[in-house]
Structure 1
Amino acid sequence: MMLPRIVFRTELTVCPECGSPLKVYKTKKRTVKSASDRFIAVHKLMKCSLHRERIFRSDLLDSIIAPGCSYANNVMLESSMKRFIDGRSSSEIASGINNGISESHVRLLSNTALNIFTQIHEESYQKLKSAMKSYVLHLDGTTDSEFEMIIVVRDSISNFTLYAGKCHSESLDNVRNMLLKVKERFGIPEGAVSDMRSGILGALEEVFPGIPVRICLFHFLRDLGRDLMQGMHTDLGIAMNRIGIKSPLKSILRSIPDYSQKTLYEIDQGFCSDRERMEIMAIRGMLEPLLDINGSSGYGFPFSLKHLNFFTACAGTGKKLSDLSAKIRGEESMALLDRVTKEIKRITCNGVIARMAGMLSGVNMLFQKIRSAFRVPERGNLSDDIMDDDSIHDQCNLVTGEMEVYLKANIPRHIFKAAKHIISRYHERETMLFAQNPAGTIPRTNNMMECFFRKVTRSVRKRCGNIVTGNILSQSGASLALFQNMSNPEYIRIVFGDQDIPAVFARYRKPFRKPGMTRSKMLELVKTGTEMILAGMLYDTPYTENNMDMAYASKKMNVS
């Protein structure tokens, strides 16, 4: 199939210096491979008869494709979006574009776009500042990198990534230097949200004195729960693992026949011709959920206590099996029930484990009270959109007030210590837990940053695998964090306006090969020059006897 031909020439018809008509100097043809199609570009290079040193090119063609390249600028943009936003691998992108581009060239083009976008973002601070007017600063760092930490600053109102940089730690000096750059470029925020690390809080107070700084509710509760329950929860898990009932229970489950649809169809009709089969299925139906217990609500420890949840599930399953044993008639089903019950009782009837679980359950009850007071749900999002701080504050004061009453009562020592710690930590951080600006735009948590880092890390892991994820984040994590702005329509509108985005990227694009000699050529000539020095043949003029003989021989050969 013949490719369409499109003629390109400069929009100028006369020389801007003398007004003389421009004439065609040379015609160049090239095949342009874009992200959607291919065509032959016929480029009419123009010259002025008086100013012959200047060549007039087509600006339109240069905005479509860079000189000396085969692939259009929109290939560079599309490959970078798919690679760094969607997490596609270079091979997937190359096969998807389907214009003959190789994996290595996709990698080269997308890396070029990544570097170009960093420059575009750095030159767009004034545009962003004017459009944002005000912002709420979110600050956090990721430690997924094995070498350097990536610290990112975002605005929770616009969801723009404002700044990203690499450093060795979230120390006061490192964070302060980054915040000073943010202050210089975007001004003073209306508030800030961060975790409770002293380096971040100290830098915020030093660089932005007087602004409301809210500590992340999730981090506060997570640290509080760890202080209260981490040791107890770990000890409970170790004690249960030493006894080890999961493997025997899984072995029993594998030996139980699968559910019989024939029997279940009869149950659906209100009768059962094989009672023992139904009894065995009933035992299987109780055992399966027990082995599926993972205790996770999505937030992790201490919001989910998998060891305590497993103990509680064992106790509940043991009670159900005890009730079922009074009704079972079949010998095989009774033997199966006894085997399962015997394994479960190895934990539930162990006095040490039962006591540890009871103590942990009591402390967890206090933790869940303060968690409920903050209205953090059992599952789902962290309720960042809840802005009713006054009623939440009142409820938290009510709960801590009840705990202060507990301290005066005759309660177990572990409950006393837990309640005292909750009260102390709450009052220590109370002001920062409810810090807010007049507009009420400071979120309760730093969950936006957690989700952002998970997205970036997942994108890298998806296309590169787990092993190299840390290394890649160390090398290009800051650029990747900034590039996520390309998925924000409002950011694109502010920075690029009605400009053609691939054409904007093209203006920043540099040739892959630097002008001048290659390194191998330079080394070759250095070697030649050295040999000339050693041979005493390094002259200070080209008019040597040897060069003149070579010129004469060349001229004689051309004449003949």
Structure 2
Amino acid sequence: MVRYTNKRSITTLRGTKTTIIKVLTCKNHPDERISIQDATKAPVMPKCHTDMDVIILIGILRWRLKMKRYEIQSFLRARGISLSTGSISNRSLDCLLLFKQLHNSKKNEIKALINRKGGMILHIYGTHRSGGRVVFVLQEGLEDIVINADLIPSEAEKHVSPILSKFKEVYGSPLVIVRDMARGLRLSASNTFSKTPQQICQVHFIRNLEKDLVTENHKRLKSFIVKHKLTSRLKAFRKSEMEYDGDLKNLERCWVHVAVDYLLYPIEKHIKWISRPIPYIVQYYRIKEVFNLVSRLISWNTSNNVVHKSLTELDECLRSVLEDSQIFYYYSILDKTLEWLDELRDNLRISRETNLKDFPSEDIEVEGVLKSIRELLSRISEEGRELEGQYIKIASSINDAFESHWDELFVPNPIVNGKQVMFRRHNNGLESSHRRTRKAIRERTGRSETNREMEQFGDLLAILSNLWNKTYQKEILHDVEYLGNSLSPFINDLPELRKEYHEARKGSEMPIADEKRMDVLEDFVQVLESSKSPGELVCALQSILGAEVPVEAVY
């Protein structure tokens, strides 16, 4: 029945319209209400002046097309829709919260899909920056559907276990768990799914080897190259003016400038291997290449009675580095280490050549990989013994790391209905999605705001990504003809959802403006030093701090 009606201005996709709002209630459930309006077919929200179509549009523009708020504002204004950037922020958040509720209501559909496939591969992944909170994601690995995502303080067992336990209550145990090497994840997965095999992410495993075997030797290589003041000497060549006329010396001067740019690029761009910077060994590779070309140019100039001072100086600059025995020693160690690690990555199908892109699971034969890795590890050990010294230690470290994690690195393919289920043995898909989200946020808000924005929206964006998953569209949203109507049942939940959202993301700071903090500190001390009675003292201190504290807490 109609509880009451009122008039309200509603912003629709066709501009702002005055409409009559009818609030309907049920006799048997008087607390449940829905609002309908006659301006459009789109649902409306209580105390909100935009209809659902506009909210969905704003969400797509901001979260899918990565538009900034002022760009969305201009886009909407061109279509006769006038909204403040604050309203755009609020409506885009509403879109995320409503879709999460819709997703949570689809547990039965997701479970049915998992059962039809005979089980699931569960990828668990958490990411954070600079000690911030963790965006923790559970993904179904065969169809890449994000099952759940949450914001937690850390990957400690006490925070991860409750999430895995809730997952188990609804979906049961997965066929295999794919996780990184964090201790908290291992303990939580083992305690929650005691009979489920755990595959560690092979990318994280190789990354840990990179940290252990590459970082220290690269620091030493850097320290010896820096002693030659190579960077400053190379930059000095850039100070000369370039002229592209027909004079040979000017053209060779331009060549030197290009060579210098080529040599400085790894340092200026902080070139990495997987995650660790290796700019100095990359620069050394380039020094060897350029030095050979410089020698050929000097030889040509000599045979043609031409002397070019810049070329001679560049030759001396590079020669001093190449003739340094300490630099060559650490370069040789790093070069061989990276050669071995690159071969391991190639055999694991996580090589740089594929830019860590996913291979189709069915193209990877586990037995073939096991055989090739065994042969490669044997050869690495043999080469280490032949080269002696540090090489023996590095080869041994590589072999020991593989042996200690062998069962976790190569979990057998599970068997379902007599057939092997191939699966990805890394979390690169999730990590790539996370990197793309960070990049989009950085482009939209700037580097300084990226971490804060990821904490604000990272988990919600992970769930929203399902909306563009074709299997999710077909299997989970099969009954959704109009997204606005499917989101409308959760409209009344929004006040509580917003409250929970802000509560989960509030910082550790007390809600006192910075310019008032010194006044609060001074007032607190002055009141404490006064001769007030205990009861009056407590009330005064509570008033100053804006917080309630029990009497027994005051001494």
TM-score normalised by the chain length of structure 1: 0.75
The answer to whether the Cα contact below 8 Å between 2:175 and 2:414 also exists between their aligned partners in 1 is: yes
| 2:190 aligned partner | 205
Contact 2:99 2:464 in 1 (8 A): yes
Aligned 8 A contact 1:94 1:102 in 2: yes
Describe the shift of the 1:168–1:40 C-alpha distance in structure 2 as closer, same or farther (beyond 3 A): closer
For the structure 1 residues 173 and 512, does the alpha-carbon distance in structure 2 shift closer, same or farther, using more than 3 Å as the test? closer
Distance apart, 1:414 and its partner CA: 0.3
Which one-letter code corresponds to 1:445 in the other structure?
H
SS of 1:137's partner is strand
Distance in 1 separating the partners of 2:57 and 2:483: 11
* Residue 369 (structure 2) aligns with: 392
SS at match of 1:376: coil
Match of 2:210 in 1: 225
For residues 287 and 45 of structure 1, the distance between their equivalents in structure 2, rounded to whole angstroms, comes to: 72
Aligned residues: 471
Q: Against the structure 1 CA distance between its residues 232 and 206, is the aligned structure 2 distance closer, same or farther, given a 3 Å change threshold?
A: same
Hey, what does 2:462 align to over in structure 1? 481
Contact 1:156 1:448 in 2 (8 A): no
- With over 3 angstroms needed to count, the CA separation of the structure-2 counterparts of 1:210 and 1:344, relative to structure 1, is same
> Which residue number in structure 2 is paired with residue 84 of structure 1?
63
The 3-state SS of whatever aligns with 2:178 is strand
Distance change (3 Å), C-alpha of 1:469 and 1:26: closer
Percent of aligned pairs with the same amino acid? 19
Other-structure match for 1:379: 353
Give the match's secondary structure for 1:448.
helix
Output the amino acid matched with 1:292: Y
**AA partner of residue 312 (structure 1):** Y
| Closer, same or farther: CA 71–56 of 1 in aligned 2, 3 Å | closer
1:357 aligns with 2:331: yes
Match of 2:54 among 75, 82, 96: 75
Alignment of 1:377-526 (within 5 A): 377-382=351-356, 384-385=358-359, 386-406=363-383, 409-435=385-411, 436-438=413-415, 439-493=420-474, 494-495=476-477, 497-510=479-492
- Contact 1:35 / 1:75 at 8 angstroms: preserved in 2? yes
The Cα shift of 1:336 comes to 1.4
Matched, 1:307 2:276: no
* Equivalent pair of 1:128/1:495 in contact (CA under 8 Å): no
- Bigger CA radius of gyration: 1
CA contact (8 A) 1:287 1:317 kept: no
Residues 531-546 of structure 1 aligned to structure 2 (within 5 Å): none
State the one-letter code of the partner of 1:470.
N
- Residues 1:213 and 1:331: Cα distance change in structure 2 (over 3 Å): same
Residue 35 of structure 1 corresponds to 13
Q: 1:66 to 1:383 in 2, by over 3 A?
A: closer
Cα 1:297–1:155, aligned 2, differ >3 Å: closer, same or farther? farther
Q: 1:240 to 1:35 in 2, by over 3 A?
A: farther
1:249 maps to 234
Distance 1:56 1:334 in 2: 84
Question: Please, which runs of 5 or more residues in structure 1 have no aligned partner?
Answer: 1-15, 17-21, 47-54, 264-273, 515-560
Q: Is the 8 A contact 1:80 1:110 kept in 2?
A: yes
Equivalent-residue separation in structure 2 for 1:286 and 1:475 (angstroms)? 45
CA distance in 2, matches of 1:456, 1:341: 45
- Give the 3 Å change call, closer, same or farther, for CA 116–56 of structure 1 in structure 2: closer
> Relative contact order: is structure 1 or structure 2 higher (C-alpha 8 Å, sep ≥ 6)?
1
Q: 1:193–1:442: 8 Å Cα contact kept in structure 2?
A: no
Q: 1:359-384: CA deviations, max 9, x gaps? A: 32233333333333334333333253
Unmatched segments (≥5 aa) in structure 2: 25-32, 497-555
Provide the C-alpha distance between the structure 1 equivalents of 2:493 and 2:202, rounded to a whole number of angstroms: 49
TM-score, normalising length: structure 2: 0.76
1:288 CA displacement: 3.7
Deviation, structure 1 residue 357: 1.6
Assess if the C-alpha contact under 8 Å between 1:192 and 1:442 holds in 2.
no
1:313-342 deviation per Cα after TM superposition (whole angstroms, max 9, x unaligned): 112222221222121057875211111112
d(CA) in 1 for partners of 2:164, 2:189: 8
SS of residue matched to 2:227 = helix
> Residue deviations 1:502-531, cap 9 Å, x none?
1232332249999xxxxxxxxxxxxxxxxx
Which residue does 1:10 correspond to in 2? none
How many angstroms does 1:72 deviate by?
1.7
Q: 2:86 aligns with which of 69, 86, 104?
A: 104
* Alpha-carbon distance in structure 2 between the residues aligned to 1:459 and 1:280: 40
Instruction: Give the Å deviation of 1:39.
Output: 5.1
| Structure-2 separation of matches of 1:137 and 1:495 | 21
Cα pair distance change 1:276/1:461, threshold 3 Å:
closer
Q: Is the contact between residue 146 and residue 471 of structure 1 (CA under 8 Å) also seen in structure 2? A: no
Distance 2:397 2:264 in 1: 34
> Does the 8 Å CA contact 1:279/1:333 hold for their aligned counterparts?
no
Residues 139-148 or 57-66, more deviating: 57-66
Render the CA deviation track for 1:57-116: whole Å, top value 9, x for unaligned. Answer: 857767433466432211111112222333322222122122112211112222222222
CA distance in 2, matches of 1:376, 1:419: 20
RMSD of equivalent CA atoms = 3.4
Counterpart code for 1:456 = T
